[in-house]
Chain A
């Protein structure tokens, strides 16, 4: 049901039946390694190319999520997934292997929540009974496309971010037995915001206004106060973007408790890992949410969270042509059903 200008309320409360996260060697050394279902100790993951390894990450996340829900892939009606690679081939190739009817999504690093919002919408309106959604990124495959070769010795500035090698997926169902389960309750779809920044080594700074805009819209549409949530998590703003978003929200009179405002890009790695400002990539919010955060909710650490995945909608071509970086953010509210 549409509420306010750009939000959906999921009155049927679609259930997140299960979720899974996969990661690479760098994530295995990170802070959240215990929350990954599968961790690879090699970036190649036994494949001939990084792109194939990228596909594998998503395939494994989806397969594991389906297994955890005690379902088979034949029982899943639709798959919604996306990534950062040209023409989202890793997601489409994973859909080829899985054979599930498929929607390919592109929202850059906001794809995880674009997928979860749409999956919940489909379930809420009886478009399907079981849907799987996910997002993924692979450090080497993404760097290869957007930046320099992985072994190139260019110096990255302290504002740069480290692309996460990882994938996350969740199975969303219309299960009528909701008690104690994780449900999606609402979603806010973001506008594309461009505040004129054009440095691809400072994505957090470019994405901050989009995150602030969506968070503001969510509270306005839902007529809620930030204290409603136990945690408000942004996707991959990293240190600079997150601090900037916090200040923007303060200016808009949206006061969030600083401890309750976190960022997946800052949660995933240890501080001594050489990631500059923090993690990024479509797999960042997906693996942290579908791994760590949902596990914490199942344990009872949080009852209600608002996940705001942020994406920078640039291409290697657009920044070479001196275009500024348009950004987007989508928010989904996840709660433990009483």
Chain B
């Protein structure tokens, strides 16, 4: 969109075209995202309590089985073709939680099953999630480095 070399005719056209564009209903989308994202988090919290009360998990260790369970649910919803409909309704609300990450991996894996397990599923399942992992790990590394340095210098 940020094309600097637009000619005057193109600029003029863009203005004309934008009049007809349906705008994203930002406020409505934010509310929907808040509600659905919130519901997903409530479910996650319930699962955490479930693991704490019925199994020998503490508040610190219950995170891992909770994430695994949420991803499992997301996998089922993706496989049964429900998650994309939730996504169209909720936007960021269902994309940002870990279920959205699961959905991006699983949907790609399902999509490329027809190209075989190695080149299809293996080669493509991280096609969307790959950049999340790369930049997630990299930013974690940078933050950890800063923290280490600050601790070494006695600031923290």
Residues of A within 8 A of B (CB): 48-51, 144, 148-159, 195-199, 202, 205, 208-209, 239-240, 243-244, 247-248, 274, 277, 322, 324
Contacts and interface: CB of A to CB of B under 8 A. Distances in A.
Contacts of A205: 17, 20-21
Contacts of B114: 48-51
Nearest to B83: A153
Contacts of B92: 155
A155 B14 contact: no
A196 B14 contact: yes
5 contacts: A144-B111, A149-B107, A149-B110, A155-B90, A208-B17
B111 A149 contact: yes
B91 interface: yes
Interface string B3-34: 10011011101101101111111000100000
A274 B86 CA distance: 13
Contacts of A144: 111
Given A244-B20, A247-B20, A156 B106 contact: no
Given A48-B114, A154-B84, A247-B16, 20 more contacts: A49-B114, A148-B107, A149-B107, A151-B83, A152-B103, A152-B108, A153-B84, A153-B85, A153-B88, A153-B95, A153-B103, A155-B92, A155-B95, A158-B24, A159-B21, A196-B11, A196-B13, A205-B20, A239-B20, A240-B20
A153 B100 contact: yes
Contact of B22 (A159, A198, A247, A322): A159
Sorted nearest first, the 8 A-B pairs with minimum C-beta distance are A153-B87, A149-B111, A196-B10, A158-B22, A151-B107, A155-B91, A149-B107, A49-B114
B94 interface: yes
Contacts of B13: 195-196, 209
Interface in B100-147: 100, 103-104, 106-108, 110-112, 114, 128
A155 B87 CA distance: 6
Nearest to A247: B16
